[in-house]
Amino acid sequence: MPEPATFGVFAAAALALLIVPGPAVAYVITRSASQGRRAGLISVLGLHTGSIVHVAAAATGLSALLLASATAFEAVKLAGAAYLVWLGMVRIFGRGNAEERGAAAPATMRRVYGQGVVVAILNPKTALFFVAFLPQFVDSRRGPIAAQVVVLGLCFIALGLMSDGAYAIVAGTIAPRLRSRRAATSGWSPRASGAIYVALGVVAALAHRPEPARAG
């Protein structure tokens, strides 16, 4: 197991990375703002259920294999980007317009959760974190490397649940007040959230695969 001091440094560094707004935070805020705190919190659960897949992949070496293969990395990256863009297009041209007319119900909580899982699994930046950042805190002298990766990964997930959950609560609390002030432009909300999803897809598509280390 990692030393307590190492564990503490990892937790502080991981929390610092988590609280900086990025694609996951923007996804949670968008969902919470458009459908309420409950949906935001369930999307957080979905995201970090997907993170479990990355923890397992890192522990078994699959993430390193993924990043070593340009073709595999590009396939996962583009699949994740396409999924986010699709979510955005549905909000802008499909569900968003229906909501504007009051003819469509919000997404079910099961669907919100499932979308969060898919977004997390198809996010190559999460794999980058577990391959490029987490190994710095693993010490082969402290026991099985896979076990250390799992412990650190679960710590990351726990911190993510807290930090992303805070974003969901804040966004879900503020958004209704903002919507009440722009009741005359109610169609803006689904289009804006759709545009954010599309932007997240573009960000994911631009993620670069790190060059494999060469023996010097």
Query: What's the pTM value of the predicted model, to 2 decimals?
Result: 0.67
- For the chain of 216 residues, list the mean pLDDT of each consecutive stretch of 10: 77 80 79 88 94 87 64 69 75 56 62 88 74 73 82 92 93 75 49 69 64 45
Question: What pLDDT does residue 174 have?
Answer: 86
Question: What pLDDT does residue 2 have?
Answer: 65
Tokens 């649940």 -> residue? 161
Using left for φ > 0, alpha for ψ between -120 and 50, and beta otherwise, residue 76 falls in: alpha
Domain layout of the chain by residue ranges: 22-205
Token representation of residue 189: 């909300």
Question: What pLDDT does residue 86 have?
Answer: 78
